[in-house]
Amino acid sequence: MTFDLFEHLEPPEVVRENLAPGAVILRHFVLPQARTILAQVAAVVKCSPFRHMTTPGGYGMSVAMTNCGDYGWVTDRQGYRYSDEDPLTGKPWPPIASLLYQLAVAAAEQGGFSDFQPNVCLINRYAIGAKMSLHQDKDEKNFTYPIVSMSFGLPAVFQFGGLSRSDTVQKCLLTQGDVVVWGGASRLAYHGILPVKAGHHPDTEDCRINLTFRQID
Ligand SMILES: O=C(O)CCC(=O)C(=O)O
Ligand SMILES: [Fe+2]
């Protein structure tokens, strides 16, 4: 009889790391569901493929993006905005799968935000070397709702600063299954992702996937 040492291991416990008032990392929060979530991302991408959008200033973003939900975040020469249809397909974005929705709501709750009903899920794909410069999430009309951000695949360094671009940043390595929630006093905190280092992950191969849930009304 063979004995599998790992067969009966429980998924790792969720570990809270407070970043700032209103901001927390929930380590491993979606680790047990990671593969299911990545399969749901693959299903979204079949309808609304990843694409490299252009900033209003005319630069191509290194991160490839798509969305699911009632609205999706888009950028082109006309500016940053939310759109109820995918400009690539002319169709509505695919819906947010129920598991994803429930996990985002549960993470927000753990972060101290109890009435979160996300209607946007921006999906970011970082190839090796891709990054997201320090920015604020401020295209939403209402800042009472938090941002819930889930990480999968290759690790990446998340920078989390203050309300001014020049504030010092904390650097946190995010790995598969980690969730960051920020709202309240931290809702407009500057944040970003340093260039993803070369590596291989069994579930995503050579990239990092990030899902960012927002509620816009
Ligand atoms: O990839 C991440 O962890 C952050 C993504 C982000 O800040 C954004 O999509 O606005
Ligand atoms: Fe952001």
Question: 172 in a domain, yes or no?
Answer: yes
Residue 3 has pLDDT above 70, yes or no: no
Contact predicate 160/170, CB 8 Å: yes
State the alpha helices, DSSP H only, in the chain: 34-47, 98-110
Question: 103 in a domain, yes or no?
Answer: yes
Question: 145 in a domain, yes or no?
Answer: yes
**Kindly report the CA angle at 99 between 93 and 104, in degrees rounded to 5?**
80
Question: 197 in a domain, yes or no?
Answer: yes
Question: 82 in a domain, yes or no?
Answer: yes
Give the contacts of 85 (CB within 8 A, at least 6 positions apart): 91, 92, 93
Question: 1 in a domain, yes or no?
Answer: no
**Nearest C-alpha neighbor of 180 from the set 136, 144, 150:** 150
CA of 107 to the centre of ligand 2 (A): 17
What is the span of the domain harbouring residue 83?
15-214
Instruction: Among 169, 212, 216, name the best residue to mutate to test ligand 1's pocket (greatest count of ligand atoms within 8 A of Cβ).
Output: 212
Question: 56 in a domain, yes or no?
Answer: yes
Phi and psi at residue 165, in whole multiples of 5°? -55, -30
Contact predicate 73/48, CB 8 Å: no
How would residue 12 be classed by pLDDT, with cut points 50, 70 and 90?
confident
Question: 6 in a domain, yes or no?
Answer: no
Known binding residue 93? Answer is no
Considering its fold, how many domains does the chain have in total? 1
pTM score of the predicted model: 0.95
In this structure, the residue with its CA closest to atom 3 of ligand 1 is 210
Domain with 140 in it: what CATH number? 2.60.120.590
Instruction: Among 19, 68, 137, 149, name the best residue to mutate to test ligand 1's pocket (greatest count of ligand atoms within 8 A of Cβ).
Output: 149
| Collapsed DSSP state (helix, strand, coil) of residue 118 | coil
CA of 190 to the centre of ligand 2 (A): 8
Summarised one tens digit per residue, pLDDT across range 61-117 is: 999 999 999 999 999 999 999 999 999 999 999 999 999 999 999 999 999 999 999
